[in-house]
Structure formats: structure tokens, C-alpha cells
Amino acid sequence: MSYLAVDHDRCILCGECTSSCPFNALILEDKLEILDTCRLCKICIEICPTDALFIKQDSSKKTDISSFRDVLVFAEQRDGKLSGVVFELIAKGRELATKLNQKLYVVLIGSKTEELVEKLSDYPVDGIYIYDHKELSYYRAEPYTAVLEDLISDIRPSIFLIGATQVGRSLAPKIATRQRTGLTADCTFIDVKPNGDLVQIRPAFGGNVMAQIVTPNHRPQLATVRPKVMEQAKPSLDHPTKISYRDIKPQMLQSGIRFVSIEPKLKEVSITEADILVAVGRGLKKAEDLNLIEELAQSLGAMVAVTRPLVELGWAPQTRQVGLSGRTVRPKLFIACGISGAIQHVAGMSSSDFIIAINKDKTAPIFDTCHFGLVGDMYEILPLLIKELREVKTLVAESRWPNA
């Protein structure tokens, strides 16, 4: 690993570097100090009049990456049910393992996991590692980190995929720190090079660019993947799966957290589970006009979704937001009303089976994403669409619609 260093014998404390640093990573007091916010942009090196600043290579020993192989997926469970993202990770993990001619393994942590093991065995995985103990029924950071560290140290996977859920976002950084490796969070696409380097793609700088990240010198390559952005795996009953129950040492279960009680939260219907979504963006003129969107959604048996500006205006709750800072959705039908199609929003809905866009700006980026587009004012189009839907429903109800 490289870092910025300073030759204090050459430094004349002129302040040119501190004033030029875009990250405010240099402090000039009795001597020049370099903070952790340095991003190695090298501007200070170019501007230094005495060549006192330079890039230095870390002399610490590199990881022997040749000793790592295979793909590992974390099978997150909650209340005895597997998270939906697990099956997306299995599909992607199978793809990566096949490209590398390696194995795909799954690790399951919980209590009384027999039914979950049986379900996972129906999918194309080469092996399942199970840590089963009553103290692992619910997620606690220390025990889950300890058992995963035990497994990783033993089987040494080259790639480790975790869902970008509440649990995954807590667990993955701890694993990365223990293994002294990198972590790419909230990936929306993953691929692998022939040499085994994992190509991790995720939005950066507020979604304005899609960053491609690799971890060439450390293993395992660790990434969390946003739910609903990849295809789910299909069962493969003819694929043999080896089941391995792992020993759990008492020290693995030590934790500063204990459960006093668990109160179930009132279950809410999430837009991530909807088959049909009617979404609206900046084209909405006032909050009261959401009634028009809700009327269309009701006609279709759909749910209403929004873009970030409407949440910021207080017109809709954040749980209805689609995009990078909201929910990632994958409905069968997505209707975008008055949505321009900024990359931050598109990243959260582009995997929908069929997308219809309505926008009066014919140059709006949403038309590059949709399957069918209507150029026009949604305030004129939606009432006509609602009227047509009502007429169709009436015909069906009266059995006067062909093939009703």
C-alpha cells in the first residue's frame, strides 16, 4: 500500500501544499503533518518547491493471494427465514465460480437450521457450512464475526459475498477489518477477471459515476450486494451439495450484547415486494396531486413510489423512495410519471421487467431506460389512462370483454 510522506529536512514550511490540498489533509504547525484524509491525488507533490513530498511504498508483507480460492456466500437468515438476497448471491456466486473453475460455498449461521439447510441444498452450491447454536439465533456482531473469521481462516475463500442488508452492512466491515482486506459496499454489478480479481461496480459521488473497484493484493475480496439488482438462482436438484457442521468454541459466543426481549415490529408492505409500481418525480406540481398517482395505482392494483425530491419536500415517506439512497425495486411493471431519469434513480429500478415512462421532455434520460415511452404531460395522460382502465374493468365485470 502506498502513502504520502514528507522529508522534513527539505520542507521549508512555505504552506503551498496546505493551501492546494483539495481534501484538507495537510496541516502546517511546527512541522508539516499528513492526515488520514489524504487521497494521494499528488497535487501537493507537483506544487512543492523543494520536492519535500513523495509517495512511499508500504514495506509490509503482501498477502499470498495464490493460497485463496473459491467463492463464499453469506446466507443471512432472520426468524428462521432466508433473506431474499441470498438467492441472488447464489446465482452470482455460481456464475463467478464457474468462470474461475472453482467451487461455490454457502455459510449459514443460526439455530435449528435443518429446514434452511435442506432448502439451500436445492440450489447449485457445492457445499454448505453451518454454525448452529441457540446463541446464534439472532444477529449479534461479535459472535457472527467470530464464527466467520474461523471459517475464512480455515477455507480461505478468494471471494466473499454478503447482502447489503442491515445485518450485512454491520457485519461486512468487521470481517474486512479482521482479515485486513478491502470492502466494496452496495455493489450493483459484479464480475471477475480471468486472474481471479473481482470487479466490483457501485455508484460513487452521489451516483454521478459508476466506480469499478478491484482488490488485487489482498484476499478475500469482500463485497456487499444491494438486494433486487440481480437475478435469483433457480433450484438445481441434480447438483450434489456437501453439508458440513462446524464446531463452535465457547469464546466465539462471547458478546457484550444480550437480548432482553424481542418485540415484533408491525409488518409494513414494502415497495420492494410489489409486482406493479407507479412512481412519480419532479413532474408533480403539488402534494395534493399525489391523489392522481394513487388513483392510477389503485386501478392497477399497484403501489405508489417516489423519487428523492418528493421525500425531501415532505410529500412522501422515505420508505416509498426508489433509488440509491432509497429502495432498489424489481417489479414486473414500473410506470415512471414525471421522472427525468437521473442515474441515482435509475440504479434503483432499471432491473424492472417492463418500464413505461411518461414525460413531457422528449430528451429526458428516462427514455433511454424504459421499454415504452409516452412524450406528454402526465396531467393530461394519466386521467385518460385511468378512464380507460375503468372501462376495461367494467367490461370484464360484465363479462363483455373477449376472453374475460
Residue 77 lies in a domain: yes
**Confidence at residue 86, expressed as pLDDT on a 0 to 100 scale:** 95
Alpha carbon 149 to chain centroid distance?
22
**Confidence at residue 29, expressed as pLDDT on a 0 to 100 scale:** 82
Whole-angstrom Cα distance, residue 19 to residue 86? 48
Is residue 114 located within the same domain as residue 214? Answer: yes
Between the alpha carbon of residue 299 and those of residues 47, 51, 305, 335, the distances in Å are 64, 70, 15, 13
**Confidence at residue 38, expressed as pLDDT on a 0 to 100 scale:** 86
Is residue 42 located within the same domain as residue 131? Answer: no
Residue type, 4: L
Cell of 262: 424481542
Cβ-based burial of 149 (10 A; exposed 0-12, middle 13-18, buried ≥19): middle
**Confidence at residue 115, expressed as pLDDT on a 0 to 100 scale:** 93
**Confidence at residue 61, expressed as pLDDT on a 0 to 100 scale:** 54
Range of the domain at 175: 65-253
**Confidence at residue 159, expressed as pLDDT on a 0 to 100 scale:** 96
Whole-angstrom Cα distance, residue 73 to residue 129? 10
Is residue 205 located within the same domain as residue 308? Answer: no
Is residue 307 located within the same domain as residue 230? Answer: no
Residue 264 lies in a domain: no
> What pTM does this model have?
0.71
Consecutive 10-residue averages of pLDDT for the chain (404 residues): 86 92 88 87 93 80 80 93 94 95 96 93 94 92 93 95 94 92 90 93 72 90 91 86 92 84 76 92 93 93 93 92 88 94 87 93 93 94 91 70 54
Report the CATH number at residue 301. Answer: 3.40.50.1220
**Confidence at residue 39, expressed as pLDDT on a 0 to 100 scale:** 83
Alpha carbon 5 to chain centroid distance?
35
**Confidence at residue 293, expressed as pLDDT on a 0 to 100 scale:** 94
CA triple 124-125-131, angle to 5 deg: 145
Coil, helix or strand for 353?
coil
Tens of pLDDT along 265-315? 777 778 988 999 999 999 999 999 999 999 999 999 999 999 999 999 999
Whole-angstrom Cα distance, residue 156 to residue 19? 45
Angle, helices 166-179/141-155, rounded to nearest 10 degrees = 50
Report the CATH number at residue 148. Answer: 3.40.50.620
Residue 263 lies in a domain: no
349: how many CB neighbours lie within 10 A of its CB? 27
Question: Do the bridges between strand 81-82 and strand 77-78 make them parallel or antiparallel, or are there none, so unpaired?
Answer: antiparallel
